[in-house]
Amino acid sequence: MTTATPPAVPSVSRAPRRARRRSTMLGVLAWAAGLAFCLPALWMLLTSLHAEPDAATNPPSLFAPLTLDGYRTFFGADTGVTPWPPLLNSLGASLFSTVLVLLLALPAAYALSIRRVRKWTDVMFFFLSTKMLPVVAGLLPVYLFAKNAGMLDNIWLLVLLYTSMNLPIAVWMMQSFLADVPVSVIEAAQVDGARLPTVLSRVVAPMAAPGIAATALICFIFSWNELLFARVLTGVVAQTAPVFLTGFVTSQGLFLAQLCAASVVVSLPVLAAGYAAQDKLVQGLSLGAVK
């Protein structure tokens, strides 16, 4: 630990070699930690590729032959019950709410970062504070409203709720991305007579495109993952993929390979989006505070 090298003349002999060995060891340790954390996910993938009898053995059969049967069954090869309606519901709810979030958040972020409305930090904190309100506290009124308005089991209700859930994050993220757009370009467009919608769609959006894309990915992930709203507010028609997953286990007994295949399929869009937006993901979750 105490490798106190004299400042001016770094000794060439032992200290660096020891430091190098230590650094190799720490590298190995990091790899071990990475693999350990990934192991359950890899196990899920491996199990999903095993035949049912090989999936549920003790001790585990690591080298059992691989098969796509789990996936085939999940997609309804035997039962005819396909997961497509819930998957499409999730896709629809997530995509529509993401679009709505972007439509609402882009002008708001523009007002907050470029126009600098008065007391803009207060407004920013208001957005943030809604994110800290536990969703469960507002769920019952929403449920009662939906029931009376005949909107239960309807993905449009989920779209609205997911939009409110993601809007604060999106405003915070986009505010920081739009702040990087030079004001002079916007002013030049305005001098040329462009109005707000034109400025936003032709000037601001293209220049902040990477940031907007990252924001969209994060909103998509959160909506896709959501369980509580979907569980309470949807039933048969508008059931989403996470709700389908929870019901999938009880209704058909437990088939481990099939369950793992289902989990892999449902997680795939999030994994893809998440790897694509790795850095922005933290920034989004920490509401823009870490950049």
Other beta carbons within 10 angstroms of residue 204's beta carbon come to 26
Number of residues that bind another protein (CB under 8 A): 112
SS3 assignment, position 148? helix
Stretch that binds another protein, among 71-79, 113-121, 148-156, 186-194 (CB under 8 A): 113-121
Contacting residues for 200 by C-beta, under 8 A, at least 6 apart: 106, 107, 110
Q: Minimal distance in Å, beta carbon 99 to another protein?
A: 14
CA–CA separation, 48 vs 44, rounded Å?
A: 6
- 18 Cβ contact list (under 8 Å, min separation 6): 3
Quick one: which segment of 76-84, 108-116, 148-156, 205-213 binds another protein (CB under 8 A)? 108-116
Least Å from the CB of residue 88 to another protein: 16
- What's the 3-state SS for 61-77? CCCCCECCHHHHHHCCC
Minimum CB–partner distance for residue 166 and another protein (Å):
11
- Selected from 12, 37, 195, 236, the binder of another protein by CB under 8 A is 37
CA-closest candidate to residue 175, choices 138, 136, 120, 219:
120
Q: Considering beta carbons, is residue 65 or 197 the nearer one to another protein? A: 197
Binding to another protein (CB under 8 A): which residues in 61-100?
Answer: none
Q: Which of residues 193-232 bind another protein (CB under 8 A)?
A: 196, 221, 224-225, 227-228, 231-232
Among 49, 87, 93, 160, binds another protein (CB under 8 A): 160
Does 138 interact with another protein (rule: CB under 8 A)?
yes
Q: How far apart are CA 45 and CA 256, in angstroms?
A: 11
Residue 281 touching another protein (CB under 8 A): yes
What is the C-alpha separation between 105 and 288, in angstroms, rounded?
A: 14
